[in-house]
Structure 1
């Protein structure tokens, strides 16, 4: 795939990003695919294990890991099933452990799901991951939740921002462990310093760029 939107060109021989909007609040589930090997990272398996399995099967993908941007129910509902099906690890921020493992904190109990999930690996701010042929920097961005993180693909200038940064908006901060002041600091001090051409893939809604958000996001002024 060559993506020329916003003037950014991805290497068509390296990466493909498949997006599926899943669940009751239209969460973006991302499949980050190494084109040459079909090795794939699944980010935020929001819901509908059957749909996720279909994407994998129809495209001949080889799942390598599940990355979570945070632990809210609408980002993790299918994680246990996909982990077991493909025998792959779940990776999340160490500061998000209590939310992921607690159905009250991750809000699933309020929606009748009662999801409890244990990550296989807990990472920290600045951790460098090498998965599916990609180099990924973990950026801890507290605010939406205490352990929210974004994943920055170093060689591709791609940021998976979860519910920290949206197109012309930011995530909510009124859930357990949320903080509005922390959220704004995270966006300004950790995300807006990335190259302007960086394409941002958020947890909900349309993609954007760092440059665009600097100019038009009212929370970034």
Structure 2
């Protein structure tokens, strides 16, 4: 499998898979104790590519974590749940978004259709999951979708489509609220350490400090006036 498809980060503990459809990122994060367990974050539409990366890693998934419910981030969840018998975590506010997956795929002229897993729904901001030797916290980041989350773990933030390294993730998809997203990011930036490594749903990685310094599109978005 080429490096353009799977990239190894953090000394081998993290693998990023680039899905073909919409170039979304799927991540595998291994147990720090090297038990062979891992979690899968945002498994996209390329099920075979994701499963091949898991097989190549030699790790065994213990859970699937979803930053939000868009089809390019939950596309392989049902297949992984069936194959590995694992829970799939999603903030409850995004269950409706996930249920719109096949409708949105048709709107994007994507011929494939997906099944959805039995989600384990997280109702509260700051809900946490302990799995594969790590403590994951789901911080509410509504705006891109109503139930978007930033999943924080060990100096990392899986940010989904709420925060990118070098641009913004603005669109006109159902449920997106730019003013709410701006407020969510402002609240996030108020507490998150600058050396936190952001792992976005699309594109490359960067620390919070690097994003502040180099993401001009995001700076312009954050500076925009909120309508009265």
**Aligned residue number for residue 191 of structure 2:** 193
Structure 1 residue runs of 4+, over 6 Å off? none
Query: What are the within-5 Å matches in structure 2 for residues 65-84 of structure 1?
Result: 65-84=63-82
Query: Unaligned stretches of 5+ in structure 2?
Result: 1-9, 224-228
**Aligned residue number for residue 7 of structure 2:** none
For the 8 Å contact 1:214–1:220, the answer to whether it is kept is: no
**Corresponding residue to 1:29 among 26, 29, 36:** 26
Normalised by the length of structure 2, the TM-score is 0.84
**Once structures 1 and 2 are overlaid, which stretch shifts more, 164-173 or 90-99?**
164-173
SS of match in other structure, 1:45:
coil
Deviation of 1:26 (Å): 0.4
Alpha-carbon deviations, 1:147-199, whole Å to 9, x = none?
Answer: 1111000xx21000000000132222411110011111111112452000000
For the residues of structure 1 that align with 2:57 and 2:70, how far apart are their CA atoms? Answer: 28
**Once structures 1 and 2 are overlaid, which stretch shifts more, 109-118 or 186-195?**
109-118
Higher helix share: 2
For the residues of structure 2 that align with 1:52 and 1:196, how far apart are their CA atoms? Answer: 30
For the 8 Å contact 1:45–1:78, the answer to whether it is kept is: yes
Give the aligned CA root-mean-square deviation in angstroms: 2.0
For the residues of structure 1 that align with 2:208 and 2:101, how far apart are their CA atoms? Answer: 33
**Aligned residue number for residue 163 of structure 2:** 165
**Aligned residue number for residue 5 of structure 1:** none
The number of residue pairs the alignment matches comes to: 207
For the residues of structure 2 that align with 1:119 and 1:157, how far apart are their CA atoms? Answer: 29
For the residues of structure 1 that align with 2:36 and 2:195, how far apart are their CA atoms? Answer: 26
For the residues of structure 1 that align with 2:59 and 2:185, how far apart are their CA atoms? Answer: 33
**Aligned residue number for residue 43 of structure 1:** 41
For the 8 Å contact 1:40–1:62, the answer to whether it is kept is: yes
